[in-house]
Amino acid sequence: MKIVRVAAMVAMVTSLAVLMGTGSAGACSAVAPGPAEQTLFDQADLVFEGVALASQDPNTTATMISSADPITWTFSVEQVVKGTATATQQVTTVRSEASCGFTFVVGHRYRVYAKAGGAGFTTGLFSGTREITALSTTTTTGSVPTTVPPDPAPTTAVTVVVERQPLARTGSPVAQVVAVGLGLVALGSLLARTRRPIP
């Protein structure tokens, strides 16, 4: 009878251990306040802002699911603040915040702080990643947002040609002098006539 009770207790303890193990693979804790924004920026290998498009869970059909299982998210990158990113960048985080994973929502915009590793870029709950409503207009010290400048408006060169036309002349200089002289003679004769006494 005593042997049966001991075996039952061992089975109970084993079952509880298995159940507790499947619920969470580890605990996530942090000391407040956390690192400053500049520190998080300096520690990250890639910082970008974009919209979460979709997630890939390689353990969807697994019989055992852990909060530390990796989830890969694909983002539509709108602005690169640090490092080099592709137009659709993938970043991996763990499944649950219980294991310091970050919970993304499809269609929402985020500023993602990621570190480079053997399997690609990873981020987490305390990496600095956060949801944003619009693209940042100011960046962390030392960061240079990568933006594509718009194409300049087409310009058309217009050349204006101004032609100087010569002034029209009424005759040669000699003819002009003769005409002026004759005019003076006629004027003098007219004045002389007006001065003669009337008989």
Beta carbons within 8 Å of 60's beta carbon, 6+ residues apart? none
The pLDDT value given to residue 26:
56
Render the chain in DSSP notation, one character per residue: -HHHHHHHHHHHHHHHHHHHHHH-S-----PSS---HHHHHHH-SEEEEEEEEEEE-TTTT-SS--TT-EEEEEEEEEEEEES---SEEEEEEES-GGGT-----TT-EEEEEEEEETTEEE--TTSS-EEESS--SS--TT---B--PPPPPP--------PPPPPP-SS-HHHHHHHHHHHHHHHHHHHHHHHSPP-
pLDDT digit of tens for each residue in the chain (199 aa)?
445 454 444 444 344 343 444 444 457 877 777 889 999 999 999 999 999 999 999 888 888 888 889 999 999 999 999 999 999 999 999 999 999 999 999 999 999 999 999 889 999 999 999 999 999 875 555 554 554 344 454 444 444 343 444 444 445 555 554 455 666 656 666 556 655 555 5
The pLDDT value given to residue 190:
59
pTM score over 0.75: no
Please tell me the distance from the alpha carbon of residue 125 to that of residue 95, in angstroms, as a whole number.
11
